[in-house]
Chains A and B, each alone.
Chain A
Amino acid sequence: MMPREIVIELGSEKAVARLLDDKAPKTCDLIWNNLPLESQAFHAKIAGTEIFFMVPLFQDEQENTTVEQEAGNICFWSTRQMIPIFYDKVPGLGPTTVWAKITENLKGIQREGRKIWMREGVKVRISRRERR
């Protein structure tokens, strides 16, 4: 089966991410079944090169957790119902579910991430990538 993919529209950038169905199946299903999701993107104040946005979803069970984050990791932080996107490597603040990984246009997300550090609240939309 082909891996499921999502499109991330962040400000003026568009990127693609692959869902980690084999590692975080419950979180992947939760997000996938609620797409498209729209919100406002903010920048982490403590964690480093991380942007995040809120979604009206709860997922208490953590899966595929990691503390140290790599560029392109897309996570779920249950405490605040947030989806964090790490656009560069960071040591991390605590264990977080990693449920997707950016596979196309990470550089665009990095450009937008640096802009969001200067001015927050840009629109973000994640949707299913439909295959032709």
Chain B
Amino acid sequence: MSVTEIIDSIREARKRIWEKEPDEVRKLLKTMGSYDENCMVMLYTESETRQLVDFLYCLRGAAKKEEVTLESVKAITKLVLEFYAEKFAGWYRMTDTVRLFKDAVSALGQMVDKTEYNALLEELLLYIGRLNLWIEVKIPWHEIIGTYEWIVHGKP
């Protein structure tokens, strides 16, 4: 696929998950961690997708600076996406997102200007940001917070 085709495919994937919960989140709810529990899988993936958005947002900002070359941000972005692809595959079996990251790495290898880089990063940010919120909404934060405050701080 060309750079444009990859960016378009990420955009389409983001539009599909904007209003409809992705299958990947349903699968995550069945992915078990230590002692056959799902809780930490959800807490970790929520945290890591949120952190990845911050990383990619910084890289997008860096690319806007004249002194930062396209080749530099491409190299760092490739490292970040490959790191998360390996982790998301191995730890959480997030096959859809991993496929999307691999396509994005392929686009990075082909792109020749910062306009393409910015377009790719924006679509990645929107996709991962929305995925993060689909995970977040599955976590019963209010009950977790209440239990934590009770156990750790003795609040009724």
Interface residues in chain A, defined as those with a beta carbon under 8 Å from any beta carbon in chain B:
38, 40, 42-43, 45, 54, 56, 58, 60, 79-81, 117-121
Q: Are A118's CB and B142's CB within 8 A?
A: yes
Could you show 14 A-B contacts with beta carbons less than 8 Å apart?
A40-B133, A40-B137, A45-B141, A54-B130, A56-B126, A58-B122, A60-B64, A80-B129, A81-B125, A81-B129, A118-B142, A119-B142, A120-B141, A121-B137
> In the assembled complex, which residues on chain B have CB atoms less than 8 Å from the CB atom of A60?
61, 64
- Output the least CB separation between A34 and chain B (Å): 13
On chain B, the residues within 8 Å of A79 by CB distance are 53-54, 57
Q: Which residues of A contact B66 (CB under 8 A)?
A: none
Interface size class of B (residues with CB under 8 A): 10 to 19
Count of chain A to chain B residue pairs whose CB atoms are closer than 8 Å in the complex: 33
CB-CB nearest in chain B for A78: B57
Q: Answer whether residue B19 sits at the interface, using C-beta atoms and an 8 A cutoff.
A: yes
Q: Which residues of A contact B126 (CB under 8 A)?
A: 56, 81
CA distance in complex: A71, B54 (Å) = 27
In the complex, which residue of chain A has the Cβ closest to the Cβ of B118?
Answer: A58
CA distance A9 to B104 in the complex (A): 36
Cross-chain contact A38 with B137 (CB below 8 angstroms): no
Name the distance in Å between B133's Cβ and chain A's nearest Cβ.
6
Identify the B interface with A (CB < 8 A).
Answer: 14, 18-19, 53-54, 57, 61, 64, 122, 125-126, 129-130, 133, 136-137, 141-142
Name the A residues within 8 Å of B142 (CB-CB): 117-119
**CB atoms of B136 and A120 under 8 A apart:** yes
- Distance of A51 from chain B, by nearest CB (Å): 13
Q: A56-B18, A79-B57 are in contact. Are A42 and B125 (CB under 8 A)?
A: no
Q: Give Cα A120 to B57, complex, Å.
A: 25
Q: Bound state CA distance, A52 and B79, in angstroms?
A: 31
Residues of chain A with a CB closer than 8 A to B19's CB = 38
- A42 interface neighbour in B18, B122, B136, Cβ under 8 Å: B136
Contact of B137 among A45, A56, A118, A120 (CB under 8 A): A120
Set of chain B residues within 8 Å of A81, measured between Cβ atoms: 125-126, 129
- Contact in complex: A80, B53 (CB < 8 Å): yes
Give CA–CA (A43, B133) in the complex, Å: 11
Q: What distance in Å separates the Cβ of B132 from its nearest Cβ neighbour in chain A? A: 9
Task: Give A54 to B19 CA distance when docked, in angstroms.
Answer: 11
Q: Which among A56, A117, A120 has the highest number of chain B CB atoms within 10 Å?
A: A56
Contact of B14 with A56 in the complex, beta carbons under 8 Å: yes
A11 vs B137: C-alpha distance in the bound complex, in angstroms?
15
A118 to B145, CA, bound (A): 10
